[in-house]
Structure 1
Amino acid sequence: MAERNKRYSLGKIITLVLILLIPGLLHFYLRQTGENVYLDLPYLGSPLSDTTQVQPFQLINQDSLLVRFPERESITVVQFMHSDCQQFGVYMNLAMARVAKKFGEHPMVNLYSISIDSNDTPSVLKEMAKQYGTEGTNWQFLTGSEAETSRIAQDEFWLDGFADHRNNSFIHSPYFILLDSKQRIRGYYEFFTKDEVDRLVGEMILLVTELSRENKVNL
């Protein structure tokens, strides 16, 4: 019995040592040989061309100021909308507000809500901006002629965005679009699922991290 108890105690000691030792060994190994592995985001856009880079354009923001895209080297999220969207406009803007809550004051991020309705004048967009608390953030509401905003939506971002005059309505995509610092499309995200918005936020963090490393600045 004594011999059995002795073996049992020895086993307990060995088990305890292993429990204490293995995490330390793993930590040492990871510090010596481990490296961060990041997911490579795809480059998306035109099926007819190798390039996915959105070309420069100009629109007017809610403060009646001319916005020349790209304004600066930044990670950009774009949505197409209009103020009278009864189908999902409010919910889409609330989803963008979630993104703005995290990145609205980030120096490497720009957020744009582009109206495809030319009746959405700067004063109309100003009221929308107040509703969603964009003051002091990098989230801007943009407007222009229907011809230009439709062209931007369809030719640059490869999404629906146009006036349906037969039905006296506007058609626009339910997707957010993520661009990298070179204005290349890196992802499309449905606004109406939390997982998709979370995926957008996560992939924005990835691109911001890459940009900060390129510029050798702190996040």
Structure 2
Amino acid sequence: MYRIVFLLLSSFLIISCNHSKKQEPNIKEALALPYYNDPTFTPVFIQDTSRVENEITHTIGDFEFLNQDSVLVNQDIIESKIHVANFIFTSCGSICPVMTDHLKIVSDSLQKDNSIVFLSYSVTPWIDTPSVLNAYKKNQGITNTNWQFLTGKKSDIYTLARQSYYAEEDIGFSRDSTEFLHTEHLILVDKTKRIRGIYNGTVALDMTALINDIRTLQKER
């Protein structure tokens, strides 16, 4: 009798273990980050990566701006790298300082990782010259050389913000470059220049999610 009970329990445990192993890949796949292909920021989950090229057609466009050191920076800086973008202006007294402080938490935790780039585009480029951005970066205590503060032609920055980064998620590219751009969003972009996450830069807890999502992207092939 005891032998029969033992055999039944053993069989049950073996079946349970096998069942768990079969479920494990699905759990891992569920952890994959979504893609965002349009201004509505509707998440698109794709488990078969071979489908991404055809189904996720939106990528960050080419750009060329001056950084805080008066060095011309273009899309080559994010080639095959994960990057986080936001849009600020140095004279902002509301959300921008908070966003910068919160993004610095992310930057400091990844400062030695050269595969991560941070891009802060000025939405008042006629004020935020390279020297102004340089002083701002220093005043904020930012030492990460992979964090670039960018300035240039207003229409170019605003077009990139709205048409590439979908910086205002509820409006996207429906606004033109004459309307002021002011958003708390941080945008996470993968190595193929596809948008993978959007975060509220004024919420400290979102920075934990951002760091975790960057780690997830690093594991993607």
TM over 0.5: yes
**Which one of the candidate residues 141, 161, 167 is aligned to 1:153?**
161
Distance in 2 (CA, whole Å) between partners of 1:85 and 1:95 is: 15
**Residue in 1 that maps onto 2:94:** 87
Following TM superposition, the consecutive aligned residue runs of length 4 or more in structure 1 with deviations greater than 6 angstroms are: none
Is 1:51 the counterpart of 2:65? The answer is: no
Q: Could you say which residue in structure 2 is the equivalent of 1:134?
A: 142
What is the CA deviation profile of residues 66-122 of structure 1, one whole-angstrom value per residue up to 9, with x for unaligned ones? 111141311100000111112211101101101101112212100011101121000
SS at match of 1:172: coil
**The 10-residue stretch of structure 1 (72-81 or 36-45) with the greater mean CA deviation from structure 2:** 36-45
Instruction: State whether residues 80 and 113 of structure 1, in contact with CA within 8 Å, keep that contact through their aligned partners in structure 2.
Output: yes
- From 67, 74, 83, the equivalent of 1:76 is 83
Do the aligned residues in 2 keep the contact of 1:75 with 1:180 (CA within 8 Å)?
yes
Q: Distance in 1 between matches of 2:37 and 2:139?
A: 32
Question: In structure 2, what residue type is equivalent to 1:196?
Answer: D
CA shift, 1:136, in A, is: 4.6
Cα deviation, residue 151, structure 1:
0.7
Matching of residues 66-215 of structure 1 within 5 Å: 66-71=72-77, 72-118=79-125, 119-160=127-168, 164=179, 170-210=180-220, 214=221
The runs of 5 or more residues in structure 1 that have no matched partner are 1-24, 165-169, 215-219
Displacement of 1:192 in angstroms is 1.8
**Aligned equivalent of 1:37:** 28
Deviations 1:42-77 (A, max 9, x none): 111425995221111111100000111141311100
Q: Tell me by how many angstroms 1:206 deviates.
A: 0.4
Change (3 A) 1:79 1:47: closer
Flag the structure with more relative contact order, 1 or 2, with Cα contacts below 8 A and sequence separation at least 6.
2
Instruction: Give the TM-score taking structure 2 as reference length.
Output: 0.72
Q: Give the conservation status (yes or no) of the 8 Å contact 1:114–1:143.
A: yes
Q: Which runs of 5+ in 2 are unaligned?
A: 1-12, 41-54, 169-174
Q: What amino acid is the match of 2:100?
A: N
TM-score of the two chains, using structure 1 as the length reference: 0.73
CA deviations over 1:147-183 (Å, ceiling 9, x no partner): 111111111111249565xxxxx43110000000000
Offset at residue 125 of structure 1 (A): 0.2
Identity of aligned residues (%): 29
Q: Which amino acid aligns with 1:175?
A: H
CA RMSD of aligned residues (A): 2.6
